[in-house]
Structure 1
């Protein structure tokens, strides 16, 4: 039996080519399906281990690294086909593609075990009877649940050839695994079928040859086998304006000229195991800080970055899974708690595609603590319960001098309990403890009043931080969310040692997805920026500021997002003697 089979292969090169075509066409994914690096876990819990993928949850550009799963040179094994007739081959391939595709009109392929289920095949053809016999013996034709091939016409020769490939593949597996098991009559039937459909089977060989050529080109020209390059570019047209003078009491005029500025980020994401990720981010920009133009931190843009367009390493962060329920993080630059923890503001969190104001991106009481490096863990207890813990320091963690380093300078220890309350509601409960040496105190994360930032005149201070934040989805189009935050600060040195202050903030928002266009988002958000109250031995914020923002995220293409919007600050710096400050923005974000 085995000798007869291999003699048959010698006599019929078309059969050999068809067998290889079958094993490749059904086992090798298309070029677009292969990824150079897989950096995500293979399973995702409902209480997620936060991914924070490319450029803060933005579009991900993926390199491709196709593979030849067959393990040999398919081009040398295939029958020679004249491919100069481009129109004819294009029509043939189009019809075969309809059959070979993994999914058509949303219906997955099913296994057909009886040729009578393939209603579009004519029972009067001799090939029908031959294929029926093979199908019923070897269960080798792939069809659709409703029993049709769904070609451009009923049971075309090209569709039939694609099915024959599947039978050839199945019979080869039986012979290789069992050393026989296929009758002489069935092999003779296969040889006759191969001869009858030689041209169609050869076309499949051409398809594989073309694929191999594309694979070789991509392998020779790809960026890296272990690293993906992703980019984000922001063009920002913006202006801050109000009354004639700044609200900080300097007496200077508000800088209210319209500006055009930019920010560029390049992410190099590398993986060494397929599940871990090392991110190196390069950044440059000249987007000014509007606190200097207006006299209040409350006016800052959520994406400001001004280093004179010099290129700097902004992020250097590594993460890796530890077993099934843990993920470990360590960062040496640009590492903040929101990189590893959910801030429960999915539509407005991103600096590149989220809220226009700095305040409306995330709860400053817990997420804006001056951190730049450290380590953390995501812990999954169940599908609805998780815990994030971290120890973070400022950029001075790399300085060995007094009042610096990892444990003698600014630091924050955090824990966040994540609750999945059904599919629609997510809730995060966060606690943190911070310590700041003298001269480095910033309890508000540069989004509140001067007193909320430092209520103790620059002396060393500590704080207990509390935050609750959530996001509620009302159907597929509407989401509600918000947060509340409290910082209990205490002076740790000097004449004010032991003095206390309470620093409050809150925010609420509503967003409408697919508003006017698929992928578009209309959002309104606002609240009270950090405000210092109950300050021992010093002044406190007597009045209350409110920041209100409206924006519309409109996708021009999959990679270009236009975001017009504006926000206004009432009673800036919590002083009702100050007039409103307005900020108008037109932000364009490019992703690649």
Structure 2
């Protein structure tokens, strides 16, 4: 500050310390208006939590040798306008702008005027008043600017309140434009040699989602999602036989409603206690959204991996699309626990299954995060499938992820119980480099049908590498490699009476580049390569090229 500025303080060091303190306090509202990151949020919270002290000795960072110690001590006794942060600090070396100092000066003047009005002893000297008067004159321009800024904020706040969408609800939207094509010689065959040519056609499709987030207490959330799209993707089970012959080539954002709009997700989440979060899904339950899936860079269908398998471990697809409840216990330590019960056919009484007797999944996960950089999870899910969904026989252990045999090892008309075990981890080497991965094992048992009493063992794994800010801030270069679900053993017999399983091994290789055009537009080109599709080395390698553009608003 200028020499003239400091000369004003030679008269009364008490005024100096008072003004610096009150500026710190008055800054709280200013910080709250401009929170943009975690550090500022913490600062704003600390500012709001400041409380008055009765002795300067309560400050852990103020020593008797400090130049302002006597001034602070006098302020506590004479003016009663000193407060501290929740951690018992004063932070006397905190830098101030002229605007902040002016705000503190104004607050200090109000306190002195209050004392004068109450005629409480001889607390303010003529010398102090003279100093305050000169300070007020010196900062008259800044004080006037502050008053103008407050008036402007009040006007803008009133305008927002008058024109807001809702006092309780926020609207969020996402639109995807996708251009995709598949390349290769033949369609994948489940076993033996392929006999059909691969039909390569470039497609242009879309998906639009509108989400309404409503909060009634500030800590709860009601989510309503409207969805429409016409992305058929490269599924292997299409009736016309024009797909790739394998679900391993599916895109992570596919879904065809003929662009008809429907409510495909409705849930309500709230805090039971400070450490317990409860989420109730009425429709569209998805475990990978309810709990940590350990692949945050690629988990999103609109802004993550391009492929279905590359988004996260298939264990998080158990019970997908139904109703249920998820409870997460997070005591703000290194360990957190999650549990869920989901029922896919809970809303359909015609199936005589309901909430408890139909397709369901019981899920549990233990997460351990000893450091901010490393997080690991142990996951278990027990599922029961009746194979009857919407009056259609449909056995699907991994919800269309992996080989067709792995999803339906016992054939149709078979009630199936499966036990799924998974381990997932993520490690943040640096702010720009992260790796994640998962491995899973499933043992499934046939309860009814031609293969009743038999079992199947299924394994899968994958790893992902994310290079953040690659080529520009907000961009991500990603590589994903792994083995989709594969039947490796069990007691299933083929027509010849021999034990059957997936003969060879498929590998999933995906490269993508998420390019951030702006905060609301992301363009993602990528290539998916499936080696030995359907775990059959007689099949030719398949390539899926995709260009996805995601608009968010």
TM interval, shorter chain, is 0.7 to 0.9
Is the Cα contact below 8 Å between 1:436 and 1:460 reproduced in 2? yes
Is the Cα contact below 8 Å between 1:237 and 1:587 reproduced in 2? yes
Distance 2:232 2:285 in 1: 22
| Distance 1:324-1:237 versus aligned 2 partners, 3 A rule | same
1:449 matched to 2:403: yes
| Distance 1:453-1:182 versus aligned 2 partners, 3 A rule | same
| Residue 211 of structure 1, CA deviation | 1.7
| Distance 1:196-1:135 versus aligned 2 partners, 3 A rule | farther
* 2:181 corresponding residue in structure 1: 239
Is the Cα contact below 8 Å between 1:24 and 1:208 reproduced in 2? no
Secondary structure of 1:398's aligned partner: coil
* 1:549 corresponding residue in structure 2: 510
| Distance 1:146-1:25 versus aligned 2 partners, 3 A rule | closer
| Residue 452 of structure 1, CA deviation | 0.5
Equivalent residues in 2 for 1:479-518, closer than 5 Å: 479-518=434-473
Is the Cα contact below 8 Å between 1:485 and 1:505 reproduced in 2? yes
| Distance 1:433-1:163 versus aligned 2 partners, 3 A rule | closer
1:377 matched to 2:327: yes
Secondary structure of 2:330's aligned partner: strand
TM-score normalised by the chain length of structure 1: 0.72
Is the Cα contact below 8 Å between 1:564 and 1:585 reproduced in 2? yes
Distance 1:454 1:399 in 2: 23
| Distance 1:343-1:140 versus aligned 2 partners, 3 A rule | same
Distance 1:239 1:464 in 2: 36
TM-score normalised by the chain length of structure 2: 0.77
Distance 1:187 1:537 in 2: 98
| Residue 580 of structure 1, CA deviation | 1.0
* 1:277 corresponding residue in structure 2: 221
Unmatched segments (≥5 aa) in structure 2: 1-22, 43-47, 49-60, 69-73, 84-89, 388-392, 495-499
| Residue 385 of structure 1, CA deviation | 1.2
2:211 to 230, 255, 267: 267
Distance 1:159 1:399 in 2: 62
Secondary structure of 2:350's aligned partner: coil
Distance 1:474 1:464 in 2: 33
Secondary structure of 2:346's aligned partner: helix
Unmatched segments (≥5 aa) in structure 1: 1-21, 36-41, 44-68, 70-109, 118-132, 152-157
Q: Deviations over 1:427-463 (max 9, x none)?
A: 1111111111132321122011121111111111111
* 2:251 corresponding residue in structure 1: 301
Is the Cα contact below 8 Å between 2:194 and 2:539 reproduced in 1? no
Residue range with higher mean Cα deviation, 174-183 or 272-281: 174-183
Secondary structure of 2:369's aligned partner: strand
Distance 1:337 1:281 in 2: 16
* 1:461 corresponding residue in structure 2: 416
| Distance 1:172-1:513 versus aligned 2 partners, 3 A rule | farther
* 1:410 corresponding residue in structure 2: 359
| Residue 141 of structure 1, CA deviation | 11
Residue range with higher mean Cα deviation, 338-347 or 137-146: 137-146
* 2:531 corresponding residue in structure 1: 570
* 1:537 corresponding residue in structure 2: 493
Distance 2:91 2:351 in 1: 72
Q: Deviations over 1:4-44 (max 9, x none)?
A: xxxxxxxxxxxxxxxxxx99975644795499xxxxxx99x
Equivalent residues in 2 for 1:174-193, closer than 5 Å: 182-183=123-124, 185=126, 190=132
Distance 2:503 2:114 in 1: 81
Secondary structure of 1:503's aligned partner: strand
Secondary structure of 1:217's aligned partner: helix
* 2:109 corresponding residue in structure 1: 168
Distance 2:404 2:526 in 1: 26
1:255 matched to 2:205: no
Is the Cα contact below 8 Å between 1:513 and 1:521 reproduced in 2? yes
Equivalent residues in 2 for 1:23-172, closer than 5 Å: 28-29=29-30, 32-33=33-34, 138=79, 161-171=102-112
1:354 matched to 2:296: no
Could you say what the CA RMSD is over the residues aligned between the two structures, in angstroms? 3.7
| Residue 165 of structure 1, CA deviation | 1.4
Distance 1:342 1:361 in 2: 13
| Residue 555 of structure 1, CA deviation | 1.2
* 2:269 corresponding residue in structure 1: 319
Is the Cα contact below 8 Å between 2:288 and 2:316 reproduced in 1? no
* 1:421 corresponding residue in structure 2: 370
| Residue 204 of structure 1, CA deviation | 3.0
| Residue 572 of structure 1, CA deviation | 0.8
Distance 1:475 1:34 in 2: 25
Distance 1:227 1:271 in 2: 7
Instruction: Report 1 or 2 for greater relative contact order, CA contacts < 8 Å, sequence distance ≥ 6.
Output: 1
| Residue 136 of structure 1, CA deviation | 11
Is the Cα contact below 8 Å between 2:319 and 2:343 reproduced in 1? no
Distance 2:281 2:309 in 1: 24
